[in-house]
Chain A
Amino acid sequence: DAKTTQPNSMESNEEEPVHLPCNHSTISGTDYIHWYRQLPSQGPEYVIHGLTSNVNNRMASLAIAEDRKSSTLILHRATLRDAAVYYCILWGGSQGNLIFGKGTKLSVKP
């Protein structure tokens, strides 16, 4: 299975941008990069996904490196409600299911 590497934890200040990194050096050409987040006492929630080009939606932006071996999830203005575990997941030809790793626990300080 194609694997991802994320920092265990990160801290941010409220109303500041947050850049959550993810390394995936063994990504294959058909793997999509997905991001989900899990708030306390909730199920995971879809954030964004992309293949090659950068992507934007109302929740976040996804910046994908040109060689696709890394990506960054960008929260433009962190709020206290963004405190969660963020999962970077590869989903594509190398595996059939969405396989979650340990993710990055984001703390947001007021």
Chain B
Amino acid sequence: ETGVTQTPRHLVMGMTNKKSLKCEQHLGHNAMYWYKQSAKKPLELMFVYSLEERVENNSVPSRFSPECPNSSHLFLHLHTLQPEDSALYLCASSLVKFATNEKLFFGSGTQLSVL
């Protein structure tokens, strides 16, 4: 148990659906991250939030829309996804953004399948 909780653990959706992934941490961290892990590929950083402000968007398509209503919660809203978006989506948090002497705490991820 890392203190970062992601729901749901598994999600199957059609290409026309709209769904949301949720991440929650009560570690007192101020930075939260979304990563994508496709089969047999390294983790890719998608978005970074610091103190509820989006500070990085790594050329992610607009069909992925993040939201950070407060420092404890992070959402990833999904709409009109493609089959190639099927992947494990991981949320992480750290005390401070980009603090190289800090640790990242990851959730267990949401395994997403787009049909």
Binding site for B on A (CB under 8 A): 30-32, 36, 41-46, 49, 51, 91-93, 96-103
A42-B43 in contact (CB<8A)? no
Other-chain residue from B45, B103, B107 in contact with A99 (beta carbon distance below 8 A): B45
* CA of A44 to CA of B109, assembled, Å: 10
Binding site for A on B (CB under 8 A): 2, 4, 35, 42-43, 45, 48, 56, 90-92, 98, 100-101, 103-109
Other-chain residue from B35, B42, B56, B90 in contact with A101 (beta carbon distance below 8 A): B42
* CA of A43 to CA of B37, assembled, Å: 10
User: What's the minimum C-beta distance from A85 to chain B, rounded to whole angstroms?
Assistant: 10
Give the secondary structure class of A's interface. loop
Q: Which residue of B lies closest to A100 (CB)?
A: B43
Chain A residues whose CB sits within 8 angstroms of the CB of B106 once the complex forms? 43-45
18 further A-B contacts with Cβ under 8 Å, apart from A30-B100, A91-B100, are A32-B100, A32-B101, A36-B104, A42-B108, A43-B4, A43-B91, A43-B107, A43-B108, A43-B109, A44-B92, A44-B104, A44-B106, A45-B106, A46-B104, A46-B105, A49-B101, A97-B48, A97-B56
